[in-house]
Amino acid sequence: MRYWLIKSEPDAYSIDDLARDKTTPWTGIRNYQARNFMRDQMKVGDQAFFYHSNCDEPAIVGITEVSATAYPDATQFDRKHKYFDEKATRETPRWLHVDFRFVKKTKPVTLAELRGHKSLAKMQLLARGNRLSITPVDPDAWKYILTLMK
């Protein structure tokens, strides 16, 4: 069982949206590294921090769990969809995604706060220039961040 951090812009899809929906297909990932994490490594039961990006106060705001392993992203086949990909076919889909289930909302742990903890300095989220929307979180960092939510 692994730990992850997934980013979402709250204007597009927030932790409250997930709380309402209970589970959601994580469609629209169009980055190979992020896709490969989902396709090759994510298992049902893996846990992930839900992070709000590109907003007033970037922060981890909740916890989610993988509820379905990777399957083809339907939006890549939809000619009218923003995420349509003309190079993808049903036989050889290019993009896949998992489903996430809502676990809980937490006290926000802001990006600024995360940066203040030396033991978290190696987190990929905090790496210079990081833009990846799905990053692994190592178990020690996971446990440490849980204590910051208390």
Partner DNA sequence: GCCAACGTTGGC
Interaction mask 31-70, DNA, x per CB under 7 A: xxx-------------------xxx--x------------
CA pseudo-torsion sign 75, 76, 78, 79? positive
How many Å apart are CA 92 and CA 85, to the nearest integer? Answer: 12
- Scanning the chain, the segments in alpha helix (DSSP H) are 15-21, 32-36, 111-115, 139-148
Interface region with DNA, contact rule CB under 7 A, candidates 37-45, 73-81, 107-115, 140-148: 107-115
Among the listed residues 45, 38, 48, 44, the one whose alpha carbon sits nearest the alpha carbon of residue 137 = 48
Using the rule CB under 7 A, is 130 a contact of DNA?
A: yes
Residue 97 interacting with DNA (CB under 7 A): no
Nearest-CA neighbor of 74 among 99, 40, 97? 97
In the region spanning residues 6 to 25, those forming contacts with DNA, defined by CB under 7 A, are: 7, 9
Q: Give 100 or 150: the residue with its C-beta nearer to DNA.
A: 100
The reply to whether 86 sits near DNA by the rule CB under 7 A is no
Where do contacts with DNA occur on this chain (CB under 7 A)? Answer: 7, 9, 31-33, 53-55, 58, 111-112, 115, 127-133
